[in-house]
Amino acid sequence: MDLQGKVAVVTGGSGAIGSATARRLAQAGARVVVGYNSRPQQAEAVVAALPNAGHRALRMPMLETPLIRQAAAIVAHELGRCDVLVNSAGFTRMIPHHDLEALDDDLIDAIFAANVRGPFATIRAFVPLMKQSGDAVIVNISSVAAIVGTGSNIAYGGSKAALDTMALSLARILGPDIRVLTVSPAAVDTAFVPGRTTAMVERVAATTPLKRVVQADEVAQAVMAAVVNLTSTTGWIIPVDGGKLVG
């Protein structure tokens, strides 16, 4: 897939994985929309650092469907197309798995709303525009926590499992015009999880065959492979985990 002249939308674009993905997409020739929720200055800084021209920041809060639809309308009006959608926005909090009481209803609802309802609402809003491309791709950023039941808390793994299953259903109904793939990293050394230290991430990485921490740009490289190279693949999960799933 040639990205010259194409438009890519990245939710959570001011985060580590989102910004690394935006940079890779821009380097490949796409005009990139950096979606953000509450950090416009960081999103604008990401846009300013992207190579080439035609990029912009756009508020896309995962919990506000009307604003997501408005964002899709703005992309359609200003850029005229959307060929790539990367759902990188998400939310979690460190809760020990054994502490069931600490994982209260409000936190569970917030995690599932951000990690499941939000990506679905974004896909729903952008699909009409993406179908016009005829060769579009959606990439959801999930987690190996969905498969192995680890991660920052039990609800987080459950929300990512829901995201994975949702992608399978979407791959069936959106083909042949839109491919849907999932990139599932292990613990990445970013500030995404409040309270998680680099030492904690390194301990997890030490249990994998490759024994090193996954970097945000490695996740972005997997997204690029899904977009550019895996043109006959849809509905599949791509792990970026140092081999965690194989032991």
CATH of the domain at 229: 3.40.50.720
Q: Which domain holds residue 195?
A: 7-239
Quick check: is 227 in a domain? yes
Average of pLDDT values for 26-53?
Answer: 97
Label residue 243 by pLDDT band (50, 70, 90). Answer: confident
Number of residues that this document lists for the chain: 247
Counting Cβ atoms within 10 Å, is residue 76 exposed (0-12), middle (13-18) or buried (19+)? Answer: middle
Average of pLDDT values for 108-121?
Answer: 98
Quick check: is 73 in a domain? yes
What is the pTM assigned to this prediction?
0.94
How many CB atoms within 10 Å of residue 148? Answer: 13
Average of pLDDT values for 152-156?
Answer: 94
Quick check: is 1 in a domain? no
Label residue 14 by pLDDT band (50, 70, 90). Answer: very high
Average of pLDDT values for 194-203?
Answer: 74
Which tokens is 215 given?
């970097």
pLDDT digits (tens, 9 = 90+) for 83-114: 999 999 999 999 999 999 999 999 999 999 99
**Which range (159-163, 166-170, 186-190) has the least confidence?**
186-190
pLDDT digits (tens, 9 = 90+) for 173-191: 999 999 999 999 987 776 6
Total domains present in the chain: 1
Q: Which residues are catalytic?
A: 156
Quick check: is 232 in a domain? yes
Residues 6+ apart with CB under 8 A from 129: 72, 75, 76, 81, 82
Mean pLDDT, the chain, whole residue set: 93
- pLDDT in the model for residue 74: 98
- pLDDT in the model for residue 247: 64
